[in-house]
Amino acid sequence: MTDSPFARLGPQFLADPYPFYEGLRGADPVLWMPELFGIGGWIVTGHAACSAALRSKHFGKEGHKVVAAEKLAAIPQESAEVAERRKSNMLFRDPPDHTRLRGLVTQAFTPRTIERLRPHIAEIAEDLLSSMAASGEADLIHDYAFPLPIIVIAELLGVSPADRDQFKLWSTDLTGGINLGASIEDLTRTGRAMEALSAYLTEVIEERRRAPRADLISDLVRVQDAGDQLSMDELLATCRLLLTAGHETTVNLIGNGTLALLRHPEQRAALAADPSRLGHAIEELLRYDSPVQLTVRFAMDDAPLGAHTAKRGDVVILLLGAANRDPAQFAAPARLDLGRENAQSHLSFGGGIHYCLGGPLARLEGELAVGALLRRMPDLALAPGEVEWRPHMVLRGPKALPVTF
């Protein structure tokens, strides 16, 4: 791919990207980088500027409308070919299509609707921990952080949780294509995974058309059959998004959050002694080590960006992980403080119209997963060795997390 400041960073950055972010912010919280992808672009590390851009109608997702095709091709996750495939995906759309598509699934993810799942999610967590308990050791990602949210989202959608290992393979390939370090091979795998998952979902959709059930896919099929402007491509894209995004963020939340607690035993002990603080603690864990580190926007017209002005067609990389460590917003931001009063002002779920639809579900899953771990495994400890991180600039989380208990 063409050059970017991220392409030159290795394992040290993956293990701890925050010193690098601090250096960028020290230069300018809104930094123009001429060499970015060979076409130039903005790197935003300041909380105020990130928050404003996320909420501004002047910064959108549909880069193909304002960026020349040859320039768009320089951005791995926004190449013309991939952009074409994503035209049915609400995550990459602006109003009015985004508004229409998001409105079709919003009711399934309201806080009130999600809260009804609390007993069942707690039961899943207990079952997974019981399966782990006998051995005295486990990979917390493989055995706990991954299966919990994939079981939940699979059941919500109406696909078989028994296929979760295959979902994981597809999800890894799909998310590989949104990595700023994505190669041609990554993008090819993304396309193949998209086709394979679509074929799988097509079968499920046809089954639900013949015999509806009490699940989200059946609800979406009813919307499509009612002629409510939902095409088959949009239905498939929505199901793909919910299945993959519905677990990716939570896997990293549980993994990153547990790792932070294990590395800060005094904070962990205080939380274990007072589980009523779990809900607020999750906000600080999200801030401290965000599961999603960045998101990309395009200037849809000339618009203010911090103290600068972005020009129509400019690429804007919003470093959410950096914004969450901005000292202008958070006192002593490198310190994990589960009692931090303004932790909830983090940007880990984005903001504005693209605020993470699954935020309430991820919060609840994180709260229940971490709470069950603290209660059931008070002696939980990291196994010897270095933590290996996923080689991803956008989605941050351990590739594996060996623990003993």
Average pLDDT over residues 381-401: 95
- Per-residue confidence (pLDDT) for residue 108, from 0 to 100: 85
pLDDT beyond 90 at 185? no
Select, from the ranges 73-87, 89-103, 371-385, the one with the highest average predicted confidence (pLDDT). Answer: 371-385
Q: Does residue 226 sit within a domain?
A: yes
Q: What is the mean pLDDT of residues 290-304?
A: 97
Pick from 280, 270, 268: nearest CA to 345: 280
Least confidently predicted of 75-84, 170-179, 185-194, 299-308 = 75-84
| For residue 109, pLDDT beyond 70 | yes
| Percentage of the residues of the chain whose pLDDT score is greater than 90 | 76
Q: Does residue 196 lie in a domain region?
A: yes
Residues 6+ apart with CB under 8 A from 23: none
81 or 266: which leads in pLDDT: 266
Each residue's pLDDT tens digit, 327-366: 999 999 999 999 999 999 999 999 999 999 999 999 999 9
Residue 260: closest CA among 299, 297, 286, 294: 286
Averaged pLDDT, 82-103: 84
Q: What is the CATH number of the domain that holds 44?
A: 1.10.630.10
In a domain, 290, yes or no: yes
> Per mean pLDDT, which range of 116-125, 143-152, 181-190, 234-243 is the poorest?
181-190
Looking at residue 149, what is its pLDDT? Answer: 95
Burial per residue of 161-199, b for 16 or more beta-carbon CB atoms within 10 angstroms, e otherwise: eeebeebbebbbbbbbbbbbbbeeebbebbbebbeebbe
Residue 231 belongs to a domain: yes
Average pLDDT over residues 265-282: 97
Handedness of CA 321, 323, 326, 330 (dihedral sign): negative
Interatomic CA distance for residues 232 and 253, integer angstroms: 32
Predicted confidence (pLDDT) at residue 207 exceeds the cutoff of 50: yes
pLDDT of residue 2: 42
pLDDT tens-digit readout, 244-255: 988 999 999 999
Residue 67 lies inside a defined structural domain of this protein? yes
Q: Is residue 250 part of a domain?
A: yes
Report the pLDDT value the prediction gives residue 36, as an integer from 0 to 100: 87
Query: Which of the residue ranges 213-217, 223-227, 289-293, 316-320 would you say has the lowest mean pLDDT?
Result: 223-227
**Which pLDDT does position 229 carry in this prediction?**
72
- 118 domain-assigned: yes
Kindly indicate the confidence band of residue 107, based on its pLDDT and cuts at 50, 70 and 90. confident
Query: In percent, how much of the chain has pLDDT > 70?
Result: 94
Structurally, the chain folds into a number of domains equal to 1
Range of the domain at 295: 11-404
For the chain, give the mean pLDDT.
92
Average pLDDT, integer, range 71-98: 76
For residue 354, what pLDDT is reported?
96
The tally of CA atoms less than 13 A away on the side-chain side of residue 214 is 0
- At residue 77, the pLDDT reads 57
> Is the predicted pLDDT of residue 1 greater than 50, yes or no?
no
Rg (CA), the chain: 21
In 3D, which of 401, 402, 384, 396 has the Cα closest to residue 15?
396
Which of the two residues, 86 and 379, has the higher pLDDT score? 379
Q: Is the pLDDT assigned to residue 53 strictly greater than 70?
A: yes
Q: Answer yes or no: is 1 within a domain.
A: no
